[in-house]
Amino acid sequence: MTQANTISETGKASIAQGARGSFGSLATLALVAGALAWSWTPADMGRWTYLFTDSANMAEYASGFLRPDFAEWRIYLHEMIVTVQIAIWGTFLAVVLSVPFGILSAENMAPAWVYHPARRLMDFFRAIHEVVFAVLFVVAVGLGPFAGVMALFVHTTGILAKLFSEAVEAIDPRPVEAIRTTGASRLQQVIYGVIPQVLPLWISFSLYRLESNVRSATVLGVIGAGGIGQILFESIRGFYYPQASAMLIIVVLTVSLMDLLSQFLRKRVI
């Protein structure tokens, strides 16, 4: 009789747990639907029909890019290389700073009085767009690639530190506890217990941000932060669409090559 009661109670608990899970799923769906409905009018989503009714305008504008002019391809390629170099340095500096901040921003690694200020500082870095930082650094150091490097460095630090901290918070605590029992210091626990677990993810995140920063560095050229974006913007503003088309093709090819390189490196590491 006791065994039957136990089985019955177990069945009831499973049903209750399933009901709570179903309610949670429905509540999540309702929250998402409510957020979409709330955002519909402010986001001007009612104009989606213009994509079809005014598609001729887009086609007419795009037709100017159908005849790319590669006469100055050496200049375009040189500026594209500068853009990649900006992305490399911005990402490298961000990775270096994101390692300590990623650990300090992890709730399971730092006390509350360290964790919260570090997290809020990274929120600040991440919340402000690279273009805003680029404008600030252009004012400080003048026009050129260095302003772009610093803008990418600050913004990417905020992004990578968050990703790094979330990877740290998801680690298996048992290796860290085992190392702690040997009398290891806090730094040794991080080096030998935390970093080996998160290093593949950290490398993957860093490579992805390098790829993204190549695109971002192109945009930063619009406000004078160097690279191909600067001459691309000038070409579009001057209605030199064939030249702009050639530069866009070079940008797309470069981003594709960076993607292939990132995939290769991720496979070698992970």
Q: In terms of pTM, does the model score above 0.95?
A: no
Q: pLDDT for 96-127, tens place per residue?
A: 999 999 999 988 888 888 889 999 999 999 99
Q: How far apart are CA 138 and CA 147, in angstroms?
A: 5
SS3 224: coil
260: confidence class by pLDDT, cuts 50, 70, 90 = confident
Amino acid at 68: P
What residue has token string 């500068």?
A: 82
Phi, psi of 199 (to 5 degrees): -60, -45
Q: pLDDT for 27-43, tens place per residue?
A: 889 999 999 899 888 88
Q: pLDDT for 140-149, tens place per residue?
A: 888 889 999 9
| Of residues 77 and 48, more confidently modeled | 77
Q: pLDDT for 173-198, tens place per residue?
A: 888 888 888 888 888 888 888 888 89
